Structure 1
Amino acid sequence: MDIKGIRELFPILNQEVNGHPLVYLDSAATSQKPVQVIEAVEQYYRKYNSNVHRGVHTLGTLATDQYEGAREKVRRFINASSMEEIIFTRGTTTSMNTIAQSFGRENVGEGDEIVITYMEHHSNLIPWQQLAKQKGAVLKYVPLQEDGTISLDDVRKTITPQTKLVAMAYVSNVLGTINPIKEVAKITHENGGYLVVDAAQGAPHVRVDVQDLDCDFLAFSGHKMCGPTGIGVMYGKKHLLEKMEPVEFGGEMIDFVDLYDSTWKELPWKFEGGTPIIAGAIGLGAAIDFLEEIGMDQITAYEHHLAAYALEKMSEIEGLSIYGPRKSEDRAGLVTFNIQDVHPHDVATVLDAEGIAVRAGHHCAQPLMKWLNVSATARASFYLYNTEEDIDKLVQGLAKTKEYFSDVF
């Protein structure tokens, strides 16, 4: 990979923050955008801004072609069998809530089990909490191993014939753990259940093939994979989506409206009520083009390299605790950590003064923080535009942080 050439495509990286060259290590929260994506969104607004599916004029046709073209790019990117299986949403959170309140509400009953893990982001936890309360279902958790991974033996013990839904992150946004989704799907289906995959941290970093994984639903967000904010994807197997009712009603998703009843459009549009996120979808399509030109396998390999380098360098810092798998091949490109006796918010503040952007807090994963026996952590997350030099600067910044607080106390 030509990292220097890739970095030049991200205008935001060419600046100083607090008098230092920007080192952006918060891509797990949101990734930066290459010029191709910025220009694709700009061109829509400059040259063919129009609503889709409705008008027969030239601009409307151009917008519709680009919007539906983006859907085909998503289908190809995750290897769905049909464009009808690709629903555009506002993001992973919207997708998960739609699955819970449409498929879950119709298929989960009193006493049924919903299985998740301790590592889930709140967007893949709270919808299932609420569904369990609504339906009188039982919420169960797959336990974690000491290193923050799950064992398939525990998965087999937790999932039973009473399990209706299993919801699991492809990649943990805190631990970096890459979960064995394909194997979990097999166990889920053997017990008659359905698997929902949160791929918000997976789709940007590893190759996703929904047919090979055999998941029933999968969701991800554009802004974490070089695309715009406000656009996401809900994938579902066609035969399941066809039986599901929409949860948002209005224009665009209807077929026929009478005074007292209405019917819905066919897939995928019955789930896309109102004016859709046109510019966002077009930008996501451009992001997919960008990632595929580089190659997802190359991106994955490079991030494993960065993770290995970061683990090696950061492990040398006395008093620094690292959470999650210690083998780089078992984790995505992020490292979550704490410095002894220094609050992670203070760590992030000192690093910011050096131009280094990391995330601090509970990362929308409070049950996992409790499992880790901490209130918060700091997190450095890497993407295809980061370098070993970025990690070196992080390590130097952490050394300054330790020195500063040792002087203070």
Structure 2
Amino acid sequence: MKQRNTELFPHDLAEQLASQFHFLNEDPYGNPRLFFENSGGSLRLKAAVEAQTRLSALPDCPERTHDIALGIRDEINKGEKDIRLFLNAKSGTIASSFTASKIMFDIVSVLGASIKNRNIVTTAVEHPSSYDACKFASEANGHELRVAAADPKSGSIPLANILELVDDKTVLVSVIMTSNITGAVHDIGTYAAAIRGKNPDTFIVVDAVQGAPHGPVDVDSWGIDALNIAPYKMFGNRGVGFAFLSDRVASLPHHRLLASPKNNWDVGSPTPAHYASFSAIIDYICDIGRYFTENEDRRSLIAEGMQRIHLQEQALLHRLLHGSANQPGTKQMENVTVHFEEANGVNQDLILALTFNNMSCAEAVDRYGKHGVLVYARESSSHYSKRILEAVNLDAIVRVSPIHCHTTEDVDRFLEVTQIIAESHVVSEAGR
């Protein structure tokens, strides 16, 4: 396995970042809690919540010409510019919808309808929003749906498994940047280049909802056609999803107000608060970058900040796996199995997929909760999880997902609780 870079934030920076989040160390009722469930949502930046509130309070229409309206329009324009900078989208269109899942359905539906009776390639670990959108688009337009198989050891989709399905009749290829269940990270630039090598004209669509909060995104260098993100997964608020669309995607026939430009995908007026809130997130990322570089170019600061977030999270993952001098890691604990990480090496998000020999995943999650640790059981009974878990030969996992503002002390506390759970015994059903 490749050596993992374990570069933690300096202590003063870590303290500064931690102070900027709501409910980092306690729940809304004041109870101590470790929130290790950021793949189901995310801890919220105070500045993002404040920006949302500030703009939501304004009654003015941004389409007017008085000072308040023009100020709101400036916030929207700044927010869209920040989305472009974050994605490194030097061309194309930025679109929004109520959720990232909804905009993924919109994108795939338009691409699937652009030509009939061909094929669509997706993967076994896609989020339901992209996988199901591909299935609907295939059935509606006479396409064959081809599904690239997962590697159960890594929880990823080997590039070869995608390429063997791509031919000159492939309309689109949908590939997830990072699995929100297995934590596997796909090198989108490499995957896109190889797919283009087989079919230069196919549309490449990327679900970056899980990946975007944890590492750099660069749609320009990747050469892809569409990508979605969800601000609520990256320290912001629910209620909006954003997407990048290449020029050739944006101009395809789609629902729009007919008097608006042909590349406009926003039906109706934008919500100013969503854009102001996203700019607050970008300000935060830039502050992290500014700690490590004197370069004041905003895109450079974003790239530096996201790379530092990635390194911090890799260091936390290393400690979760291997522990410290005083606390064994999950890989050293009896009754605990860590899935996927060994095969992924450095291509692993800050997600631990665990199972316990001495209890079910649901029971383990319940026990974590009693110790003030919030994690989640992904089970095959859930329509969000069933297909993906079956693809990697599992029935359930305990998903553990901290983020960069957590500390080694948080990790050690989690490991202490995990060891208690691993050494405990489940009461039999008959004895309950």
Q: Could you tell me the TM-score, scaled by structure 1's length? A: 0.89
SS of equivalent residue, structure 1 residue 384 = coil
2:72 alignment partner, one of 34, 55, 63: 63
2:181 alignment partner, one of 171, 174, 178: 174
CA distance in 1, matches of 2:361, 2:271: 36
Unaligned runs of 5+ in 1: 247-252, 255-262
How far residue 382 of structure 1 moved from its aligned partner, in angstroms, is: 1.9
* Equivalent pair of 2:21/2:46 in contact (CA under 8 Å): yes
Tell me what 1:266 maps to. 261
CA separation of 1:228 and 1:207: change in aligned 2, threshold 3 A: same
Are 1:288 and 2:282 matched, yes or no? yes
Within a 5 Å distance, the mapping from 1:228-247 to structure 2 comes to 228-246=237-255
Within a 5 Å distance, the mapping from 1:62-211 to structure 2 comes to 62-82=71-91, 85-107=93-115, 109-110=116-117, 112-145=118-151, 146-190=153-197, 191=199, 192-211=201-220
**Equivalent residue letter for 2:399:** R
**Equivalent residue letter for 1:310:** L
1:402 alignment partner, one of 422, 426, 429: 422
CA distance in 2, matches of 1:240, 1:335: 36
Are 1:216 and 2:225 matched, yes or no? yes
How far residue 399 of structure 1 moved from its aligned partner, in angstroms, is: 2.5
CA distance in 2, matches of 1:281, 1:220: 13
* Equivalent pair of 2:334/2:422 in contact (CA under 8 Å): no
Query: Cα RMSD between the aligned structures?
Result: 2.1
CA separation of 1:60 and 1:323: change in aligned 2, threshold 3 A: same
Within a 5 Å distance, the mapping from 1:15-94 to structure 2 comes to 15=26, 21-46=32-57, 48-52=58-62, 54-82=63-91, 85-94=93-102
CA separation of 1:40 and 1:309: change in aligned 2, threshold 3 A: same
* Equivalent pair of 2:351/2:402 in contact (CA under 8 Å): yes
CA distance in 1, matches of 2:64, 2:124: 48
CA distance in 2, matches of 1:267, 1:383: 39
Are 1:315 and 2:331 matched, yes or no? yes
CA distance in 2, matches of 1:39, 1:58: 21
CA distance in 1, matches of 2:148, 2:132: 16
Tell me what 2:273 maps to. 279
Q: For residues 276-299 of structure 1, what are the alpha-carbon distances to aligned partners after superposition, in whole Å with 9 as ceiling and x for unaligned?
A: 332122211211221232111100
CA distance in 1, matches of 2:35, 2:335: 24
* Equivalent pair of 1:200/1:224 in contact (CA under 8 Å): yes
CA distance in 1, matches of 2:170, 2:105: 19
Tell me what 1:374 maps to. 394
CA distance in 2, matches of 1:406, 1:228: 38
1:389 alignment partner, one of 409, 420, 431: 409
CA distance in 1, matches of 2:241, 2:377: 24
CA separation of 1:14 and 1:392: change in aligned 2, threshold 3 A: closer
* Equivalent pair of 1:337/1:377 in contact (CA under 8 Å): yes
SS of equivalent residue, structure 2 residue 251 = helix
CA separation of 1:325 and 1:158: change in aligned 2, threshold 3 A: farther
CA distance in 2, matches of 1:245, 1:68: 23
CA distance in 2, matches of 1:370, 1:349: 23
Q: For residues 123-146 of structure 1, what are the alpha-carbon distances to aligned partners after superposition, in whole Å with 9 as ceiling and x for unaligned?
A: 111111111111121111222223
* Equivalent pair of 1:49/1:59 in contact (CA under 8 Å): no
**Equivalent residue letter for 1:92:** A
How far residue 49 of structure 1 moved from its aligned partner, in angstroms, is: 4.1
* Equivalent pair of 1:37/1:287 in contact (CA under 8 Å): yes
SS of equivalent residue, structure 1 residue 227 = coil
Identity of aligned residues (%): 22
CA distance in 2, matches of 1:153, 1:389: 41
Q: Does 140-149 or 306-315 show the bigger shift?
A: 140-149
CA separation of 1:264 and 1:101: change in aligned 2, threshold 3 A: farther
**Equivalent residue letter for 2:277:** G
CA separation of 1:20 and 1:38: change in aligned 2, threshold 3 A: closer
Q: For residues 300-354 of structure 1, what are the alpha-carbon distances to aligned partners after superposition, in whole Å with 9 as ceiling and x for unaligned?
A: 1111111122122111121222222325411111111111242222211111111
* Equivalent pair of 1:167/1:197 in contact (CA under 8 Å): yes
Q: For residues 117-166 of structure 1, what are the alpha-carbon distances to aligned partners after superposition, in whole Å with 9 as ceiling and x for unaligned?
A: 11111111111111111112111122222322333333322222221110
* Equivalent pair of 2:173/2:205 in contact (CA under 8 Å): yes
Q: For residues 47-66 of structure 1, what are the alpha-carbon distances to aligned partners after superposition, in whole Å with 9 as ceiling and x for unaligned?
A: x44333x2223322221211
Runs of at least 4 residues off by over 6 Å:
none
* Equivalent pair of 1:220/1:233 in contact (CA under 8 Å): yes
**Equivalent residue letter for 2:77:** E
SS of equivalent residue, structure 2 residue 334 = coil
CA distance in 2, matches of 1:218, 1:16: 33
CA distance in 2, matches of 1:308, 1:50: 49
Tell me what 1:3 maps to. 14
Tell me what 1:249 maps to. none
CA distance in 2, matches of 1:29, 1:216: 26
How far residue 19 of structure 1 moved from its aligned partner, in angstroms, is: 8.2
Within a 5 Å distance, the mapping from 1:325-404 to structure 2 comes to 325-326=341-342, 327-362=344-379, 364-404=384-424
CA distance in 2, matches of 1:401, 1:284: 39
How far residue 14 of structure 1 moved from its aligned partner, in angstroms, is: 4.1
How far residue 233 of structure 1 moved from its aligned partner, in angstroms, is: 0.9
Within a 5 Å distance, the mapping from 1:298-309 to structure 2 comes to 298-309=308-319
SS of equivalent residue, structure 1 residue 183 = helix
CA distance in 1, matches of 2:39, 2:321: 17
